[in-house]
């Protein structure tokens, strides 16, 4: 399955590649053939990047799941205005990861805070505070948490379909970040962390923590 936001990127590339293929068949131009193959490779890469695989959401009631595919690059204690004393788990998504973002735990959206910013490498901790980012604060009957989409060195667009007051469920798709990025999850310090630095996680499937 292809994510909806990717269609308007994939279709123009497809039409360009298709038209070039016709001219390539009618011409002996080496340059035209090179341009055709470049457009075909870009078309295949765009399909790969905008893939949206289904995920088996864990049915454990106390499990907090990963909001993104990627590598755990930071696990830090921190104080957050919404969560209070908590832990931040940062997940770096390379170009080759699935870039769909998912809800880690059910709740109600209390705040959506988008900030413009810089485009530093997303695997660096400073990106959490200086880069373009979109922070979602969520509350439920058990605890509060936040998920923050952070644009990376190449990423220039954050996509999110959440608004204040939305009731959301664990595993729901809620957005994506274009071409390499990072997602920060801040959860209460009482949560038992189930991942370590360097772990590879899958959005919607991997368990990040357990509510005690």
Name the one residue in this structure whose structure tokens are 């205005």.
81
DSSP string, 50-104: TB---------TTEEEPSSSEEEEEEEEEEETTTEEEEEEEEEE-TTS--EEE-S
Name the one residue in this structure whose structure tokens are 């060195």.
153
Q: Which two structure tokens, joined as six digits, stand for 8?
A: 């308007």
Name the one residue in this structure whose structure tokens are 């990072």.
182
Q: Which two structure tokens, joined as six digits, stand for 79?
A: 């104080």
Which residues are the active-site residues?
A: 181
| CA–centroid distance for 79 within its chain | 23
């Amino acid at each position: 399955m292809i994510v909806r936001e990717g269609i308007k990127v994939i279709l123009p590339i497809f039409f360009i590649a298709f038209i070039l293929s016709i001219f390539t068949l009618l011409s002996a131009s080496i340059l035209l053939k090179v341009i055709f193959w470049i457009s075909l490779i870009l078309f295949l890469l765009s399909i790969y990047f905008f893939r949206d695989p289904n995920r088996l959401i864990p049915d454990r009631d106390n499990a907090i799941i990963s909001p993104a595919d990627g590598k755990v690059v930071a696990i830090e204690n921190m104080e957050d205005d919404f969560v209070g004393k908590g832990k931040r788990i940062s997940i770096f998504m390379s170009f080759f990861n699935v870039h769909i973002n998912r809800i880690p735990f059910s709740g109600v959206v209390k705040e959506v805070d988008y900030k413009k910013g810089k485009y530093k490498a997303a695997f660096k901790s400073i990106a959490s505070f200086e880069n373009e980012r979109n922070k979602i604060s969520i509350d439920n009957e058990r605890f509060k948490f936040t998920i923050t989409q952070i644009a990376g060195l190449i990423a220039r667009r954050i996509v999110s379909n959440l608004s204040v007051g939305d009731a959301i469920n664990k595993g729901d798709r809620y957005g994506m970040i274009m071409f390499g990025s990072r997602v920060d999850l801040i959860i209460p310090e009482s949560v038992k962390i189930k991942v370590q630095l360097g772990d590879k996680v899958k959005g919607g499937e991997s368990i990040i923590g357990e509510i005690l």
